[in-house]
Amino acid sequence: MSRPLVARIDTAALAHNLGLARRLAGPARILAVVKANGYGHGLLRVARALRAADGFAVLTLGEAETLRADGFSHPIVLLEGFFHPDELPAIAHWRLQPVIHREDQAEILARARLDHRVDVFVKVDTGMHRLGLHPKRLQEVVARLQEAESVGSVTLMTHFASADEAEVGVDEQMQAFRKASEGLELPASLANSAALMRYPETQGDWVRPGIMLYGASPFANQTGAGLGLLPAMTLESRVIAQRPLRKGEAVGYGGSFVAAKDMRIGIVACGYADGYPRHAGTGTPVLVEGQHTRTLGRVSMDMLCIDLTPIPNAHVGSLVTLWGEGLPVEEVAASAGTIAYELLTAIAPRVRIEET
Ligand SMILES: *Cc1c(COP(=O)(O)O)cnc(C)c1O
């Protein structure tokens, strides 16, 4: 048998989560965000499972071309637009919709001679201060784009910095957006997963859910399961060795875990080179044959160590769930001082992926 580590992708869960996004979105159309290899789940696998979405959002031209080559005719948005003008002919050819977030991009596109008009999303910075036009410049840049022969439709867009934090929320950014776009009768795209789930007023014409489609929560204090989502990825492996650890003995690099009493430990085929977070300290939750236990000591490149003391019937070959069904990825992320997004997107290419 080969190395037992596998990421199981539940395509029905992806479809279920899209259904929840659909109910929350009301009449708004859904741009399913499938960047970062479908948040680590596999771009084409995810896109096929989310075929009922109204469009897809990706980062790179390469991802968009992969979708077109597989036959997807949906609108496809490039979330950071074009990185170089030499991408414009392909963007026009493949009917992709770049986000225009800098004035010079607008100018370059407006002057370009292309085979087809390019539909664009124009991003305005309403307070995140990362990408986007200054609100005061929005109207002039939109006018410039609308008069250009190379440009088709214009959709306005902004991104929230704190839709997942109730104390901050979206109010200030919503106000800034309304002010910047006053008088422009154009469709708008505002909401990420957190805004879609918590702030119906951000609905607009296109919503952009990402993390929720994969079954994880955008909120720190809630799991996806608590929000009615189903985990799309379950990372599973098996116990490949077991041994007693006597009181006073240490396990793993640096001997950072020392047994306070006699124990039994298991070694699991999964390490940080697979994308399991090295910062997950002793006590990170894992399941063995569905029963809760914890990691011990430092995560190695290819292995980690778990406590089998509370699971006397565990043996070499026992199934270990690192996250997913029965163990929210958010809990593992919290133990490692990070978020579900990082764990899911960090799954390494060497991890075998199986669809269920
Ligand atoms: C990644 C991304 C999203 C999706 O965000 P989630 O929090 O995963 O829902 C939406 N909009 C933009 C601009 C993004 O870059």
* 163-172 per-position pLDDT tens digit: 999 889 999 9
**Is 330 among the domain residues?**
yes
> Are 142 and 169 in the same domain?
yes
If one residue of 41, 173, 192 were mutated to test the ligand 1 pocket, choosing by the most ligand atoms within 8 A of its CB, it would be: 192
In this structure, what CATH number is given to the domain that contains residue 239?
Answer: 2.40.37.10
Number of domains the chain is built from = 2
Calculate the alpha carbon distances from 48 to 43, 71, 212, 255 in Å: 9, 10, 17, 46
> Are 202 and 62 in the same domain?
yes
How many Å lie between the centroid of ligand 1 and the Cα of residue 212? 10
In terms of residue numbers, what domain contains 131? Answer: 11-216
> Are 198 and 70 in the same domain?
yes
**pLDDT tens profile 28-69:** 999 999 999 999 999 999 999 999 999 999 999 999 999 999
**Is 246 among the domain residues?**
yes
Strand partners of residue 100: 122
> Are 45 and 156 in the same domain?
yes
Pocket of ligand 1 (CB under 6 A): 33, 35, 79, 159, 192-194, 208-211, 218
**Is 144 among the domain residues?**
yes
* Burial degree of 1 (CB within 10 A; 0-12, 13-18, 19+): exposed
How many Å lie between the centroid of ligand 1 and the Cα of residue 265? 40
Which residue puts its alpha carbon closest to atom 15 of ligand 1? 79
**Is 223 among the domain residues?**
no
> Are 209 and 68 in the same domain?
yes
> What pLDDT, on the 0 to 100 scale, is given for residue 167?
86
Checking if the pLDDT of 1 tops 80, the result is no
pTM for the complete prediction?
Answer: 0.96
C-alpha to C-alpha distance for 111 and 155, rounded to whole angstroms? 19
> Are 119 and 164 in the same domain?
yes
Element (H, E) at 19: helix 11-25
Element (H, E) at 31: strand 29-33
Question: Is 253 known to be catalytic?
Answer: yes
**8 A C-beta contact, residue 151 and residue 117:** yes
**Is 226 among the domain residues?**
no
C-alpha to C-alpha distance for 335 and 339, rounded to whole angstroms? 9
> Are 169 and 240 in the same domain?
no
Among 189, 216, 243, residue at a domain's last position:
216
Reduced to 3 states (helix: H, G, I; strand: E, B; else coil), residue 188 is: strand
**pLDDT tens profile 244-275:** 999 999 999 999 999 999 999 999 999 999 99
How many Å lie between the centroid of ligand 1 and the Cα of residue 193? 7
> Are 181 and 277 in the same domain?
no
**Is 225 among the domain residues?**
no
- Summarize the confidence of residues 348-355 as an average pLDDT: 97
Structure tokens at 308: 């089998």
**pLDDT tens profile 287-331:** 999 999 999 999 999 999 999 999 999 999 999 999 999 999 999
Question: Is 199 known to be catalytic?
Answer: no
